[in-house]
Structures are given as structure tokens and as C-alpha cells.
Amino acid sequence: MSTPEELLQKTEFDYVVVGGGSAGAAVAARLSEDPDVEVALVEAGPDDRGQDVILRLDRWMELLESGYDWDYPIEPQENGNSFMRHARAKVMGGCSSHNSCIAFWAPREDIDEWEQRFGATGWNAETAYALYRRLEQNEDAGPDAPHHGDSGPVHLMNIPPEDPSGQALLDACEQAGIPRTRFNTGETVINGAGLFQINRQADGTRASSSVSYIHPILDRPNFTLLTDFRARELRIDADDVCTGVDVVDSVVGRTHALTARHEVIVSTGAIDTPKLLMLSGIGPAAHLEEHGVRVRVDSPGVGQNLQDHPEGVIQWEANKPLPQTSTQWWEIGIFTTTEDGLDRPDLMFHYGTVPFDMHTLRQGYPTTENGFCLTPNVTHARSRGTVRLRSRDFRDKPMVDPRYFTDPHDMRVMIAGIRKAREIVAQPAMAEWAGRELYPGAEVQTDEQLRDYITKTHNTVYHPAGSVRMGPADDPMSPLDPDLRVKGVRNLRVADASVMPELTTVNPNITTMMIGERCADLVKQARVSAGSAGASATA
């Protein structure tokens, strides 16, 4: 592999995409389809090629708190687990190179809500679903599914029904009133359970955004991949035009100036994107001044509106040996509701055949090497957190405060989730599999006991979003307009999960890739419009 210094053969491009993650890889690949534009993709982490621990999906849990993880601690939580950490990928492909590759189209209601409730004009299910189809090649989404893309870069497949404990769990769900279902059929699953679809290739390689979008285009003469370069600050001139970005190489720590003739697209994720904007003078004025950062745009919504899927866990010993191989160890999803009248589920479970004890062991709960768990998570948590600068030094980790369970709705749903998990596993279909409940334990029954257990041991599904949300031009709390342009600065856009006004009901990784696809379309449209305007002016 080349060193960062060897990669940096030129510094001026038409478009510079900062962040080679789920959305950024899609933006760069699509923009570089035009041979007349030069595109650079800048990634702070290393290349993923040749890295088996990255590319083999069944090894994904080895990546947590590894050298491929930014591993952000969270601020002390008044109602949550202060030991929790946010895994954010430090490698090409971003979190699509770091996660379990659970692949979901968001419910239509989620995307329509972005437009109808939050004023993100143009972001609706019709547009999003066309982009989902464009980005994927879907092995099988069921006989009733609408036509799925058959030539997109991202390969989706059904998890095969090979795990007998998982099949027993699906039987138990049916006995508990939650029917079997297929996912990604175009219909919203309000109450149903099934095997996930995952973005994985047939040989077990994860179909990350890097594998899917970037590996096939590395020989394009107009595309430059710069790995191991970390963004330090956006370059913004006196006329509030973003002209590029200062990046620091990982070998000698030297700063280099990259120039963008047309636009910079920031795709560094829901934690690092607000950090980079604030370091560049775009954010809440008082906060920037506190850290000695020159204020270019007073944008109070930068770093606000942080959302996540908080996750609990309930674990059982298994009475029989569990499978020793898996696609990625979390193969089944369950959706249901905790109240009547909802158009989307407010509760989701992942089913894992692993000891999920990363927060229970320190609290003294027993563990096992042969156990299974259900992890209830709140699909639309109402608690909102913040991302803030720790200092003006780009090397310092930001202050991430999710403010878990500060809205009582979220704890109510989570407690209901623990009770629903017990109801499912108590069904006859699981009788031969379910042994002792290890945590929280059968003696933990009251709301107060469950609340205490959840507060001490909950985790996250690692889905931070919403911290640089898009919205109407006149909304001061939306730093972006619906075309993903940063308000107050020209030639600067954002494309990653931070732009979501509301986090999706489901695992958001495929939706984040979709955001990258749409961003590329918007940039291309702007280029065409600018060309047409120039031609008219000279006619």
C-alpha cells in the first residue's frame, strides 16, 4: 500500500468528498461517472483492501474498540449508561465496513415524513425507493416484492434459514402473535419477524460502500482515492465560499490544502460532520467563541438533534449447543408495537446467538459461551442529544451527549421490550432451547427494577443521526437546505446520516447510501444548471 505522501500527486479537483464512508463512497463513485470532472475521495482511515478482518462479515464484532474504531466515549448520562461508547469506523467504507450489514429500506412513512413534517422538500418515498432500487442488486426480496435493481453496486441477499434456534424463535414469535414476514418488500412491517437481508457477497465478503462503489472504479483516471488523510478544517474564503479542505496525513502529521473548483461534500458521519463544521466556524456562535473558533456562520442547529436507537439486552443460557457458524451472528429481526394506532413499529429486536455481555459483566451479571439474546431497541426515541467541541484541536474527540432516556417515552418502550422478549421466549417453540435467564434475571420484574437494570446496562445499535439536519430555508435549527447545501456557505454540502431530520425506524445504513446517491444527483443537477446559465450568458 502507498503512503499518504505517495498518494498525494495532485491537490486540485472539481469535487472533493470528505469521508469515504457509507454515503461518501456513493457520492464520489457517482460523480466520477462523468469523465469530464475530477473527483477526490478523502478518508481518515486506512484502505480496506486486503484487510480480512474488515472484509469478512462474520468477523465484524472484532472491530468494536479496535484500531479501526474511533471509539467515542459519551458524556456522563443522567438517565443512561455512562460507560457506553459509540463505535465509529476508521477505515474506507466507514460504518458499512464496520457493522453487521443488516440491510433495510426505510418504511415509506419515514421518508415521507422528512418532506411532510420537517420540510425537506423532495425527500419522499417515491424518490427514495427509486434510489434504493438503483443502488442494489437484490438476490431475493420475496415473491410479492416490487422490481428490485438487478445491476446496482450493492449486493443484498437473504440470510439462509440454517440456524435451528432461530427457526424455533420465529415459531415462538408466531405463537406470541407476531407472524413471520419478509423484509424489503415495499410494505411497512408493523408487527412481524423474519430473517434479515444483508449487504454481503456470496463468498462472505461484506458489500460495504467501499467494496461496492469504490473497489470497481479505482482505475478511473478522473478519480483519486486519498486514504489516511484526516480533515482538519474546511477552507472558506472571505466571500463565504468553500474552496477546499485542509487535511493532515497520518505518517508525518503534515497539513495539505486540497482545492475544490466546484464543491466540497462532507460525509464524515453524525459525530464527525458537526465537529468539522464547527472547527471550520459553522455552528452555534457562543459555543465556537468559547473555544476560540472564528464564527463564519452562526448555525445553532449544528450538533443539535442527535438521535439514536438505544438498545437493551436480555440473555438466556441455551439448553442445546448453538450454531458455531453464522453470516454475522445477528440474523433475525422482530418488529411490534407497544401502543395502538401506530403506523410504524415503536419496538424492534435483534436476535443474537452470542453472549452480549459488554455492559452486563461489569455489573456482576453471569455470562455464558453458549447463549442467545434479544435486544429490544426504541425505533423512534424521543430523547435528543448533542455533539460539541472538546477543544479547537481537531485531534481531540468531540463531546458526544446522547441524553439517553431523558424523554420518559423511551424507557417505557424499552421496559415493554424486555417484557415482550420474555413472552416470546416463554412460548412452547423455545422450550427445548431456553435455559436460565442470565440477565436481567427472572427475579427482576417490577418497572423500577427493570428501569434500574436498563439504565446501568443498555447499549446502542450504533445509529447516531440527525446532528446536521436538513429542512426549510427559513428554519434556523436546520443547518442544511433540502438540497443538502450548508446554509450561509456556498459550494458546501453534507451527505451522511447527520442530515436525517428523524432517524429511520430500521437500521439506517442502506438509507445512508441512498442519501449519497441523491446527493450525487443534486450535485450533477447543479452542474448542469450552472452550465446552462453560463451558455445563456454568453449567447
Task: pLDDT tens for the chain, 539 residues: list them.
Answer: 677 777 788 999 999 999 999 999 999 999 999 999 999 999 999 999 999 999 999 998 898 888 999 999 999 999 999 999 999 999 999 999 999 999 999 999 999 999 999 999 999 999 999 999 999 999 775 545 554 556 899 999 999 999 999 999 999 999 999 999 999 999 999 999 999 999 999 999 999 999 999 999 999 999 999 999 999 999 999 999 999 999 999 988 999 999 999 999 999 999 999 999 999 999 999 999 999 999 999 999 999 999 999 999 999 999 999 999 999 999 999 999 999 999 999 999 999 998 999 999 999 999 999 999 999 999 999 999 999 999 999 999 999 999 999 999 999 999 999 999 999 999 999 999 999 999 999 999 999 999 999 999 999 999 999 999 999 999 999 999 999 999 999 999 999 999 999 999 999 999 999 999 999 999 999 999 887 666 555 55
* Active-site residue, selected from the candidate residues 155, 215, 458, 463: 463
Helix (H) or strand (E) holding 256: strand 255-266
DSSP code for 363: G
Gyration radius of the chain over CA positions: 23
Which residues neighbour 66 within 8 Å (Cβ) at sequence distance 6 or greater? Answer: 53
From 515, 469, 507, select the one nearest 105 (Cα to Cα): 507
Residue 106 placed within a domain: yes
CATH number, residue 371: 3.50.50.60
| Residue 539, domain member (yes or no) | no
Taking the chain, what is the end-to-end CA distance rounded to the nearest angstrom? 50
Tens of pLDDT, residue by residue over 25-81, are 999 999 999 999 999 999 999 999 999 999 999 998 898 888 999 999 999 999 999
Q: What are phi and psi of 523, to 5 degrees?
A: -65, -40
Structural domain includes residue 536: no
Q: How many residues in total does the chain contain? A: 539
Q: Which residues define the annotated binding site for FAD?
A: 91
Closest CA to 129 of 429, 533, 519, 518: 518
Which residue(s) pair with 163 in the sheet? none
CA trace torsion 335, 340, 341, 347 (10° rounding): -20
Q: How many domains does the chain divide into?
A: 1
Cell (9 digits) for 272: 464527525
pLDDT tens, 101-135?
999 999 999 999 999 999 999 999 999 999 999 99
Q: Specify the 3-state DSSP secondary structure of 335.
A: strand
Considering the domain boundaries, does residue 293 fall inside one?
yes
Contact partners, residue 419, CB within 8 Å, separation at least 6? 450
How far apart are alpha carbons 402 and 82 in whole angstroms?
Answer: 10
Asked if 262 contacts 251 with a C-beta cutoff of 8 angstroms, the reply is no
Q: Please enumerate, by residue number, every residue annotated as part of a binding site.
A: 91
Residues forming a β-bridge with 318:
434
In a domain, 537, yes or no: no
Residue 520 lies inside a defined structural domain of this protein: yes
Contacts of 205 (CB under 8 A, 6+ apart): 55, 56, 57, 211
For residue 474, CA distances in Å to 481, 488, 519 come to 9, 12, 21
Tell me if 31 is assigned to some domain. Answer: yes
Please confirm, yes or no, whether 463 is among the known catalytic residues: yes
User: Cβ(156)–Cβ(198) under 8 Å?
Assistant: yes
Quick check: is 534 in a domain? no
Structural domain including 228 reads 4-529
Enter the C-alpha cell of residue 41. Answer: 475521495
Residue 217 CB partners (closer than 8 Å, separation 6+)? 29, 32, 223
